[in-house]
Homo-oligomer: A and B are copies of this chain.
Amino acid sequence: MSERPLMVIPQPTLKRLVVYHQWLKQLQERGRDVVSCTVLARDFKLDATQIRKDLEIAGIAGTPRVGYRIDAVIASIESLLGWTNVNDAFLAGVGNLGAALLGYERFTRQGVNIIAAFDLDPAKIGTKIHGKPVFSLTKMAPLAQRMKIKIGILTVPAPAAQTVADLMIAGGIEAIWNFAPTALQVPEPIVVESVSLASSFAVLLNQLQHQRHKTT
């Protein structure tokens, strides 16, 4: 089952679909059940055509003069993104950010289920954080192997990141969600997606500077 053509979804489209999804959920809670691209375009400050093409790529059809059925769009996006079946994950590095991610309930509705966390700090090992058990990092690889965990979330300090990534790979993990501000060297089939908060902030600063020069 679930035999999608697995066509390549452009990354920008993929990211926007997630954002549409969040917003449509909210509109739905407010009792709406259809939207038009025109409205979405205003909300997101995007081009209406772009949204139409995004939805088209997701295999969603609308009806002219009316718009798109919100529940249908939500369902399509969820199935496209694979949120219908949840993926178990391990998290390494229970610092500020790691702990925050452990407590982020919303993830479960977005395809991630963090099963356990790992750290070196003896004060943390054996405790539970936001209901998730914390084990010693030395146990991560064997446990990942035994439990067939394929996704690792890396929230350790930069200097430790490569070492811990190697541990993950040794444990059979295939995809690493990397929050450490460093470049990871990983072998061929391993997938790495890095989140760079600093990059995002740099964009903000840059836009602010431009805005100021514009109005000066």
Residues of A at the B interface (CB closer than 8 Å) are 6, 8-9, 11, 14-19, 22-23, 26, 43-44, 81-82, 87, 95-97, 99-104, 106-107, 110-112, 130, 150-151, 158-159, 174-175, 177, 181-183, 185, 189, 191, 193-213, 215
Contacts and interface: CB of A to CB of B under 8 A. Distances in A.
Contacts of A175: 204-205, 207-208, 211
A121 to B, nearest CB: 15
Given A17-B202, A97-B100, 7 more contacts: A19-B194, A19-B196, A22-B182, A106-B181, A174-B208, A177-B200, A189-B215
A174 B205 CA distance: 10
B158 A26 contact: yes
A164 to B, nearest CB: 15
A207 B188 CA distance: 13
A87 B158 CA distance: 24
Contacts of A202: 14-15, 17-18, 81, 110-111
A211 B193 contact: no
Contacts of A197: 104, 195
B200 A195 contact: yes
A213 B96 CA distance: 36
A151 B6 CA distance: 41
